[in-house]
């Protein structure tokens, strides 16, 4: 008979629940201790935990956390497709794409080269968990032109043709959205070649990876702004995630934030075409100010809007950050009457206390003060942090009389 606590068949509905199959883990016995110790760990199977990636919804859109680039054993990745589903769910993603190489199959001696298999194997599990899985594939060439992800395919096998442009057109004909991957690799040059102009002009190049893995491409960032390409931050993960990222300790892979009209694959496609994305890489958000500003405004709250300053004594200001992105601030322009910190960090899910004081002991009276900071990790262009202003009502109580 079945143990109600038996772990779910990891390989999903496609596989008969054979009595010969051992569940992946049996927690009986040491159950409670394990549970106590492993809070943050993704235990796959019947009982699992998901840590949401907290970034606020903005401008009436739902903020979907996506990764559109990863591999499995069906090209040169080192895991079965089901592992990618489990990882995406546990790590807090909403949507993803498995993008095995169309032409590169180092394991072909042992593994099928059918390009639709990774999607087909992952689909039932993704659906059961409420994740949006988008069929994709990576067209892979030396540079130029390089590697390209094609999303929203109907049949990935049709892309397996010798001529590069024909492969791109085969994707386009299926209504694919096409992204230039890691534009500084594999030739270690961030260069926009003539072939990229050709692709761009033919409508075969709509998006670009500004971030791949933990590598940021400033040129790609600039091209995206100039040429109106959609910005992506994708993991391109080949190994099990937890081998590269200490997820249990709160790290995360790159995320493409998509501001979608609803939680559907179609809405994601509409948002990608409308360029409503922001890249979240390590601690950085990279994107247009029209999206970064409402994120900051929705996440950050000044709890101490008014402050009384006695002579030269310091008074605390409390600011809360409710999202999972830290904000790193550097002073741009203060106020002559007030001493404020030159820099500070609004940590994720924390209230921060700063101290301010009057510039002189003789100051008195009440005024509204505006202090401008640069948020160095909200990049609206390469090396350009978005500026924000804090307004404070200050009452100076002179200590000189």
Q: Is 372 exposed, middle or buried (0-12, 13-18, 19+ CB in 10 A)?
A: middle
* Closer to a second copy by Cβ: residue 128 or 274: 128
Least distance between a second copy and beta carbon 201 (Å) = 26
Least distance between a second copy and beta carbon 260 (Å) = 19
* Closer to a second copy by Cβ: residue 298 or 354: 354
Least distance between a second copy and beta carbon 226 (Å) = 22
Spell out the alpha helix ranges (H) of 229-353. 241-244, 265-273, 289-299
Least distance between a second copy and beta carbon 223 (Å) = 18
Degrees (nearest 5) of the Cα angle 250, 64, 329?
Answer: 55
Least distance between a second copy and beta carbon 63 (Å) = 16
Residue linked to tokens 């409420």 = 130
* Closer to a second copy by Cβ: residue 107 or 390: 107
* Closer to a second copy by Cβ: residue 279 or 352: 352
Strands in 197-326 per DSSP E: 207-212, 215-216, 230-234, 255-260, 277-281, 284-287, 300-302, 306-310, 315-321
Least distance between a second copy and beta carbon 49 (Å) = 5
* Closer to a second copy by Cβ: residue 54 or 275: 54
* Closer to a second copy by Cβ: residue 288 or 330: 330
Q: How many CA atoms lie within 13 A of 268 on its CB side?
A: 26
Residues 6+ away with beta carbon under 8 Å from 148: 138, 139, 168, 178, 179, 180, 181, 205
Question: CA-to-CA distance for 142 and 186, rounded, in angstroms?
Answer: 7
How many other C-beta atoms can be found within 10 angstroms of the C-beta atom of residue 110?
A: 7
Spell out the alpha helix ranges (H) of 263-399. 265-273, 289-299
């Amino acid at each position: 008979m079945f143990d109600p606590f038996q772990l779910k068949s990891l390989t999903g509905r496609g596989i008969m629940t054979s009595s010969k199959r051992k569940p992946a883990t049996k927690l009986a016995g040491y159950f409670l201790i394990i549970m106590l110790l492993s809070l943050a760990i993704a235990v796959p199977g019947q009982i699992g935990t998901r840590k949401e990636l907290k970034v606020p919804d903005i401008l009436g859109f739902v903020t979907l956390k996506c990764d559109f680039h990863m591999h499995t054993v069906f090209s040169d990745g080192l895991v079965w497709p089901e592992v990618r589903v489990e990882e995406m769910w546990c790590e807090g993603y909403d949507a993803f794409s498995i993008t095995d190489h169309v032409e590169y199959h180092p394991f072909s001696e042992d593994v099928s080269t059918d390009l639709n298999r990774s999607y087909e194997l992952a689909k039932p599990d993704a659906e059961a968990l409420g994740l949006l899985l988008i069929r994709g594939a990576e067209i892979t060439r030396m540079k130029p032109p390089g590697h390209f992800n094609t999303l929203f395919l109907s049949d990935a096998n049709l892309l397996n043709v010798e001529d590069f442009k024909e492969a791109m057109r085969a994707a386009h004909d299926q209504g694919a959205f096409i992204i230039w991957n890691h534009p500084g690799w594999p030739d270690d040059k961030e260069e926009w070649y003539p072939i990229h102009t050709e692709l761009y002009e033919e409508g075969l190049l709509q998006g670009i990876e500004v971030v791949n893995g933990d590598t940021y491409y400033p040129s790609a960032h600039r091209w995206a702004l100039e040429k109106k390409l959609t910005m992506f931050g994708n993991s391109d993960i080949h190994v099990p995630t937890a081998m590269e990222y200490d997820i249990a300790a709160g790290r995360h892979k790159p995320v493409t934030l998509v501001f979608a009209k609803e939680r559907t694959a179609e809405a994601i496609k509409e948002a990608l075409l409308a360029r409503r994305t922001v890249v979240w890489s390590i601690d950085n958000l990279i994107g247009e100010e029209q999206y970064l500003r409402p994120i900051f405004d929705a996440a950050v709250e000044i709890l101490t809007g008014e402050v009384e300053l006695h002579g030269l004594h310091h008074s605390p200001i409390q600011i809360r950050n409710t999202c999972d992105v830290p904000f790193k601030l550097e002073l741009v322009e203060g106020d002559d009457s007030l001493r404020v910190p030159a820099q500070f960090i609004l940590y994720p899910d924390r209230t921060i206390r700063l101290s301010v004081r009057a510039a002189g002991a003789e100051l008195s009276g009440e005024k509204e003060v505006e202090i401008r900071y640069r948020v160095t990790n909200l990049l609206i262009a390469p090396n350009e942090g978005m500026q924000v202003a804090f307004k404070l009502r200050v009452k100076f109580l002179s200590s000189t009389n």
